[in-house]
């Protein structure tokens, strides 16, 4: 696996990881892994089966057996198009809850490794550089202030036809970040080998350009 070049982009919710990772992947012709989608799919599948998000063994078994197809931008769960359903705030909270269960994380590991194919992979999440792809050639920790992230999430939800409440979104982001940071397994953290990219006052283009510059540096080192 390690001969496939991997770029990891980890960071808190709504920092722009997915947007930047997809743009970098497109620029380099690399594959893209949205690892958060796997936790979101697990949470949604559990809800649909009537399981509680904290039932570790049942949810882990479900995660291991997930029938998922990533078809371009579309995501199918057991043949059902859930592209929008997995993006709701409720499913995001569920994802953060199931993601704290060690057996669920193990059940999703092989599926994530399978994304590392030639010519390369850009993977975004919380533990891409620390646990899933520790040998990645470039590791980025992408963040922004809680205010900037809450505003971005609100705009994103409005564009999707929801009517978000800024105060509720801010509270939700903060409690999700806290859960993701304080869990025992694979906590969200900026590890020493990751380069910090704070996009509080930076546009998407600039963030993408910075990652591509770092990648050039890696290749020429
Ligand atoms: N640097 C940036 N400046 C302004 N908005 C951004 C920036 N990066 C991302 N966004 C916007 O913020 C929202 C959340 O980005 P997303 O990539 O979904 O974040 P994450 O994957 O970290 O949750 C998107 O609507 C995206 O267009
Ligand atoms: N590699 C990952 C990716 C996501 N998670 C968990 C933690 C997050 O709260 C949820 C949802 O992740 P996702 O990246 O889709 O969430 P955001 O779009 O950043 O809000 O899943 C994780 O624990 N490890």
**What was the ipTM of the complex prediction?**
0.97
Distance 148 CA to ligand 1 centre (A): 10
Known binding-site residue numbers for ATP = 11-19
What's the pLDDT tens digit per position in 6-22? 999 999 999 999 999 99
Asked if residue 126 has pLDDT above 90, the reply is yes
Distance 221 CA to ligand 2 centre (A): 32
CATH 3.40.50.10860 fits 6-215, yes or no: no
- Contact criterion met (CB below 8 Å) for 187 and 10: no
Distance 39 CA to ligand 2 centre (A): 7
Return the DSSP state at 65: T
Please give the number of the atom of ligand 1 that sits closest to the Cα of 19.
17
What's the pLDDT tens digit per position in 157-175? 899 888 889 999 999 899 9
As a whole number of angstroms, the distance between CA 40 and CA 140 comes to 22
Please name the helix (run of DSSP H) or strand (run of DSSP E) that holds residue 138, with its range, or none. Answer: strand 138-143
Protein residue with least CA distance to atom 15, ligand 1:
16
Please give the number of the atom of ligand 1 that sits closest to the Cα of 11.
22
Give Cα separations from 19 to 34, 133, 168 (angstroms): 10, 20, 23
Q: What is the residue extent of each domain of the chain?
A: 6-215
pTM: 0.96
Which is more confidently placed, 187 or 20?
Answer: 20
Which bound ligand lies closest to the C-alpha atom of 123? 2
**Residue among 16, 125, 211 whose CB has most ligand 1 atoms within 8 A, to mutate:** 16
Give Cα separations from 166 to 82, 100, 153, 154, 181 (angstroms): 25, 26, 9, 6, 22
**Residue among 14, 25, 128 whose CB has most ligand 1 atoms within 8 A, to mutate:** 14
What's the pLDDT tens digit per position in 50-103? 999 999 999 999 999 999 999 888 999 999 999 999 998 889 999 999 999 999
Distance 49 CA to ligand 1 centre (A): 31
């Amino acid at each position: 696996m390690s001969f496939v070049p991997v770029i990891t982009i980890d960071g808190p919710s709504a920092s722009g990881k997915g947007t930047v990772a997809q743009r970098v992947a497109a620029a380099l012709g690399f594959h893209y892994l949205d690892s958060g989608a796997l936790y979101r799919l697990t949470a949604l599948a559990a809800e649909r089966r009537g399981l509680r998000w904290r039932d570790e063994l049942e949810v882990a078994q479900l995660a291991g057996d997930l029938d998922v197809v990533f078809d371009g931008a579309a995501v199918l769960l057991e043949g059902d198009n859930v592209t929008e359903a997995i993006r709701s705030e409720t499913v995001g909270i569920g994802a953060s809850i199931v993601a704290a269960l060690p057996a669920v994380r193990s059940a999703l590991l092989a599926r994530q490794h399978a994304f590392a194919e030639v010519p390369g992979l850009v993977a975004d999440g919380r533990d891409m550089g620390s646990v899933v792809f520790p040998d990645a050639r470039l590791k980025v920790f992408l963040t922004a202030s809680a205010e900037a992230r809450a505003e971005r999430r609100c705009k994103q939800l409005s564009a999707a036809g929801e009517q978000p409440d800024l105060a509720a979104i801010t509270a939700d982001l903060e409690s999700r970040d806290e859960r993701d940071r304080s869990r025992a397994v694979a906590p969200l953290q900026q590890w020493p080998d990751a380069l910090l990219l704070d996009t509080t006052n930076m546009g998407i283009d600039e963030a993408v350009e910075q990652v591509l510059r770092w990648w050039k540096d890696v290749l020429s080192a």
